[in-house]
Amino acid sequence: MKKIFAMLAAFACAAVFSACNDQKAEQSTADESLNKVKAAGEFVLGLDDSFPPMGFRDKDNNIVGFDIDLATEVCARLGVKLKTQPISWDAKEQELNTGKIDCIWNGMSVDSARAAAMNLSDAYLTNRMIFTVKDKALANLEALKGKKIAVQNGSTAQKLLDASEAGKAAKEIVPFDDNQTALMDLDKGGVDAVFLDEIVAKYWIVENSKDYVVLEEGLSDEVYAVGFRKKDKALRNAVNSTLAAMKEDGKFDEIYAKWFGK
């Protein structure tokens, strides 16, 4: 986890993202967003409820996930209840700006367009495009030369892999309809590695009790953040402070281990 937090610190300080604004300077323009949430007694979280392991429905149709557990703890510390509100992902900014939800918290990747449209929290989790292998002898990208690598067809991962040196050096890039099928083929020995989101890979490994390896060498990094209305700085700052406290006291690590292993 030390490496993850080090990466978070580096991303969180990137000047391109508004999440890195100096919060102390913003205190002079205080708003009522935090007070409104506390007065209502609930914090409404907007999400796409089909994105495991961040937020999804379990077999009993309950909305669960890593982000849900984080938000539940944040709400407990702020003295309010969490309310999950499924939304259309395509209309997430509209749902936020019309006041139907208080935030978008759903493994949302940070980019310049989202930073312009929303008031983003500090980055709280990194995601990498990585290789996972079953054979521990395949310990680095060099070892994958001449091997069969699976990837989801039509994904950004496929485009990235096709253009990479690792992809060009592979014996074959094998496309699958989804990551789950690709990982099952890895389990059967049909391919030597799968290239996919680290978040998805680690969740699948834990859920299926597999002793697979995620290679340290990845091809691309990104970070996740929570999105708030542009004016809701007080609420954003409170969530930032609470998440920081959870990292300090170990609660963040506890929730992380539940979903992704140690």
**pLDDT by residue (tens digit) across 64-113?**
999 999 999 999 999 999 999 999 877 889 999 999 999 999 888 888 88
Alpha-carbon gap, residue 12 to 185, rounded angstroms: 37
Please give the DSSP secondary-structure letter assigned to residue 110: P
pTM, to two decimals: 0.68
Instruction: Tell me, rounded to whole angstroms, the distance of Cα 76 from its chain centroid.
Output: 21
Cis peptide preceding 53, ω within 30 of 0: yes
Domains of the chain: 2-124+225-260 (3.40.190.10), 128-221 (3.40.190.10)
3-class state of residue 76 by DSSP: helix
Q: What is the pLDDT of residues 184-236, one digit of tens each?
A: 999 999 999 999 888 888 888 988 899 999 998 888 788 899 999 999 999 99
Alpha-carbon gap, residue 257 to 210, rounded angstroms: 15
